[in-house]
Amino acid sequence: MSDTDPLWRPAYIGIGSNLGNPVRQIETAIERVADIADTRLVAQSPLYRSAPFGGVEQPDFVNGVLAILTRLAPTELLARLQQIERAAGREKGGVRWGPRELDLDLLVYSSVSFKSDDLVIPHPGIGERNFVLLPLRDLAPDLIIPGLGRVSGIPVNGKEPAISRID
């Protein structure tokens, strides 16, 4: 697959923030994702507020999921998402599961399974993280994730911190 494929492929992006004004950070990031060349924003999930994952003391997160169509290869799409994160103030090499202005994760890319040093598709945390699973369920309950099955059939993790939909 080249950097730009003639076929439009569906992909899903996890989006989150817990610094500054998280809702505004997410709104700005959505605008920037919509501006990526050879990519079309199709839909966005409702937003959720959730306690932090990973045990680092920090503010609650606001999370959601975006559905896009893209002609970019997964690695090129990831590079564009990382540019958006840097523009929002995210620094590489921060604390793992620590606070951040913006987090964009490529969750699913078509029916592709892919693994490199920089990218794993589908994202390995989908089935373990309610802040990803619940917005993805709102957006695409019938989506089949390679290795996990239909989104609506993936059980919610009862051990995860509390999560609530922002209306």
What pLDDT, in 10s, does the model give residues 70-79? 999 999 999 9
Q: What is the pLDDT of residues 119-165, one digit of tens each?
A: 999 999 898 889 999 999 999 999 999 989 999 999 887 776 678 89
pLDDT at residue number 157: 78
* pLDDT for 105: 94
Structure confidence at residue 80 (pLDDT): 97
pLDDT of residue 2: 52
Residue of higher predicted confidence among 58 and 144: 144
Give residues with Cβ within 8 angstroms of 122, minimum separation 6.
107, 108, 109, 113, 145, 146, 147, 148
Average the pLDDT over 14-22 and give the result.
94
Q: Quick one: pLDDT at residue 96?
A: 65
CB 122 within 8 A of CB 152: no
Residues 66, 12 contacting (CB under 8 angstroms):
yes
Instruction: Supply the pLDDT for residue 95.
Output: 61
What gap in Å lies between CA 82 and CA 103, rounded to an integer? 9
CATH of domain 4-166: 3.30.70.560
Of 31 and 51, more confident: 31
Residue positions annotated with a catalytic role: 90, 100, 103, 105
* Sequence spans of domains, the chain: 4-166
